[in-house]
Structure 1
Amino acid sequence: MDFDFSEDQQALRDAVRKWVDKAYDFESRRKAVTAGGFSRDTWNQLAELGLTGLAVPEAQGGMGLGPIDAMVVLEEAGRGMVLEPLVQAIISGVVLSSYAPEAVQGAWLPKVASGEALIVLAYQERKARYDLTKVDAKATQAGGAWTVTGQKGVVPAADQADAFIVPAVADGKVALFLVERSAQGVATTGYVTQDGSRAGDLTLNGATATLITADGAAALQHAVDVGIAGVSAQAVGAMDKFMALTADYLNQRKQFGVALSTFQGLRFRMAEMKMALELGRSMSYYGTLKLTQSADDRKTALARTKVQIGNSARFLGQNAVQLHGGIGITDEYVGSHYFKYLTQIEMNFGDSMYNLGVVSANMKDFVSVAE
């Protein structure tokens, strides 16, 4: 079996890496954070590269690529700590093309692919604690039109997005709706998050909505699974780059007249970090491949992926900061920003403890020690 990336995937990786190196260096990113954590100009550049349309079918103007292609792109985005919510474009492409009526697909998917419309998943609620079954937002129908009332928190680029994918309870079960930010009854409050990206809170007060699917629970779980695969790939890219930065530092920094990289204890530490990185990478591959499996298998696999990514990111990030010494926590040094970036990924789409609970709850086969 061939596990190598195809020539097209390698070319895609090279193209994104070149863009990151040329147009998204550390100083450019710092300016973007100062400006509010989201740049429509950068978003348009990603669209020109075709990246906002990765998961949009070709018939709707997108690239029609699969999970592995998206993983390749997001690893490179993670290496550059790209602030713009590229994972959200992939989520919206998957959800709309998989669940939305044809009319909704035709109205929105070409805009997603072109970068004209940024659609983000707005699902987190204060009381839910990552539990997708706990939804307080309500949807009502009158005269054939839907309205949604509720509050969603930590929504990516909330005050910059053009529309939201919103879960709400309708007729006693969770359904999924599309709500435009310009609709009456929609209010957003934006802020910069820990890693410098932009998010916000969304308040819906009888906001006009379009039904995506009445089977919202399945669609929402699919969206979150896609999100986990996406941020896991970003984490792998970020860990890979942080690892390289740490190795360079140890090769250059001297103590007692010799490079730090010559000390056996520090070399052992780097070896352990490399193992953590490769464990995370292998689980990112595993989770990405499982996106095409049945819903139950996919959910458990992505929860496993998120647990390992969280563990790897925490171990590698903490040790990289320690190996850098004092400079590792300064805002002027890029390494501290990788640490914050990885820390925030740990909290996205359920932290390690929550996903460990998902894995535990879905364990079906047990082997007795006595056997």
Structure 2
Amino acid sequence: MDFDFTEDQESLRDAVRRWVDKGFSFDRRHGLAKAGGASRAVYGELAELGLAGLVIPEAHGGLGQGPVDAMVVCEELGRGLVNAPYAEAALMAPALLSAAPEALQAAWLPRIAGGEALVVPALHERAARYRLTKISTTAQQVGGQWQLTGQKLAVPAADEADAYIVPARISGSDGDTAGIGLFVVEKLAATVAPYPTQDGARAGDITLNAAAAQLITTDGHAVLETAVDAGLAAQCAEGVGLMDRLVAITVDYMNTRKQFGTTLASFQALRHRIADVKMQLELGRSMSYYASLKLGEAPAQRRRAISQARVQLGQSMRYVGQQCIQLHGGIGCTDEYIASHYFKRLTVLEMTYGDTLHHLGEVSARMQDTAGVFA
């Protein structure tokens, strides 16, 4: 099997890497984080590169690219520690809007592709524990207009977004896959409580009180799963980029930092540890490729593959992050040093859209017929 990237994909990687090297230094990122994590300007620069419309169909002003192209971009954004909500706004939101009526797609997708509108998913609810069917937000029609009532937590860039894509229950009860609708809610219809996050970005809780909403679909569960899987695959790729750069920083530190009159890299025990770190990195990289390549499969196979990849990435991100910080010693924990910020982002990423234990449970639930042997 040929795992080489195409010339266009390599050109895409180079373009993103050049932007990161030129326009998104650690000093800039650190300054944004200390100021509260605002990222709309950064996202606007990504949109100027055409990245906001990467997966949006050409008919709506996008580039019409696929999962591998998205993986390439997310790897480079991870390597550069870019704190814009790219996966949520440029990958997940278009996937959710793909189920909308043509008029609603025409109203939002061109604006998303051009960077004029920042639309993010608002999925998380209190006590949901990553379950997409546990939705207490309700939707009802009043005079022909849909209205939503409820609360969504940890919405990325909540106070900077122009609109949210919100799942709400039209009928049924918690746990039912039927009766879940997807809606577009503009920011002015919601009450937003923003806050900075531990990884230097920004999020917020939104409260909806009979908020006016535009209907995407009344059968939203399958679409919601597809979009979350696209986000998880993007997170896997970002995690690979983060680990790749953190390992490089650590190796450079070991080659320059001296102890007992010689560099840390000369100690055999530490060389063995960095070899184990690189092994975990490559395991994560291979499973990230696997996740992106499986996004086009049937839902059952896709969901299992994504969770399998996410389990490995969770294990790799935790191991690589912890080992690299320990190899740095005390400086690795300081806010002024770049390695600590990579570790923070890896830690937050490991708990987004399902932590490792959650996805291990997802894999287990989908392997009952094979008794642990992959079909």
Q: TM-score scaled to structure 2, two decimals? A: 0.96
SS at match of 1:291: coil
For 1:176, the equivalent position in structure 2 comes to 182
Distance 2:93 2:305 in 1: 21
Alignment of 1:191-202 (within 5 A): 191-202=195-206
The residue number in structure 1 matching 2:140 is 140
CA distance in 1, matches of 2:134, 2:372: 35
Secondary structure of 1:191's counterpart equals strand
**Secondary structure, in 3 states, of the residue corresponding to 2:295?**
helix
- Which residue in 2 is equivalent to 1:90? 91
Q: Which moved more, 1:237-246 or 1:79-88?
A: 79-88
Deviation for aligned residue 1:305: 1.2
Kindly indicate whether the alpha-carbon contact (under 8 Å) linking 2:157 and 2:203 is maintained by their aligned counterparts in 1: yes
Matched, 1:353 2:357: yes
Give the 5 Å matches for 1:1-371. Answer: 1-88=1-88, 89-97=90-98, 99-172=99-172, 173-183=179-189, 186-366=190-370
How far 1:297 sits from its partner (Å)?
A: 1.1
- Distance across 1 between alignment mates of 2:371 and 2:211: 51
- Give secondary structure in 1 for the equivalent of 2:370: coil
Q: Which amino acid aligns with 1:298?
A: R
Counterparts of 1:265 and 1:134, CA distance in 2: 48
Distance 1:67 1:162 in 2: 25
Q: How far, CA to CA, are the matches of 1:366 and 1:147 in structure 2?
A: 45
Name the CA distance, whole Å, in 1 between partners of 2:38 and 2:11.
27
| Count of aligned positions | 366
Deviation, 1:143, is 2.5
Please give the secondary structure, in 1, of the residue aligned with 2:154: strand
Give the C-alpha shift of residue 365 in structure 1. 3.7
Q: TM-score with structure 1 length normalisation?
A: 0.97
Measure the CA separation in 1 of the matches of 2:372 and 2:211. Answer: 54
CA offset digits 1:106-138 (Å, max 9, x no partner):
000001001111111101001101111110000
Q: Provide the secondary structure at the position in 2 that maps to 1:212.
A: strand
Contact 2:39–2:202, Cα closer than 8 Å, also in 1? no
Aligned partners of 1:73, 1:105: CA distance in 2, in Å? 24
Matching residue's letter, 1:344? V
Return the letter of the residue paired with 2:75: E
Distance in 2 between residues matched to 1:247 and 1:39, nearest whole Å = 30
Identity of aligned residues (%): 57
Describe the shift of the 1:368–1:279 C-alpha distance in structure 2 as closer, same or farther (beyond 3 A): closer
For residue 367 of structure 1, report the CA deviation from its aligned partner: 5.0
Structure 1 equivalent of residue 176 of structure 2: none
Q: CA 1:149–1:368 in 2, change beyond 3 Å: closer, same or farther?
A: closer
Judge conservation of contact 2:39–2:201 (CA < 8 Å) in 1.
no
CA separation in 2, counterparts of 1:70 and 1:368? 31
Can you give the 5+ residue segments of structure 1 that lack an aligned partner in the other structure?
Answer: none
Counterpart residue type for residue 209 of structure 2: N
The superposition leaves residues 210-261 of structure 1 with CA deviations (integer Å, 9 ceiling, x where unpaired) of 1111111111111110110111111100000000000001110112221111
Query: Counterpart of 2:175?
Result: none
- Could you tell me how far apart the structure 1 residues matched to 2:358 and 2:201 are? 23
CA distance in 2, matches of 1:358, 1:84: 28
Residues 62-116 of structure 1: CA deviation (Å, up to 9, x unaligned): 111100000000000001111110001211122212x111011000000100111
Task: Go from structure 1 to structure 2 and tell me whether the alpha carbon gap of 1:47 and 1:311 turns closer, same or farther (over 3 Å shift).
Answer: same
Give the superposed CA RMSD: 1.2
Partners of 2:117 and 2:263 in 1: CA distance: 50
Q: Which amino acid aligns with 2:270?
A: L
- Distance (whole Å) between structure 2 residues aligned to residue 366 and residue 7 of structure 1: 40
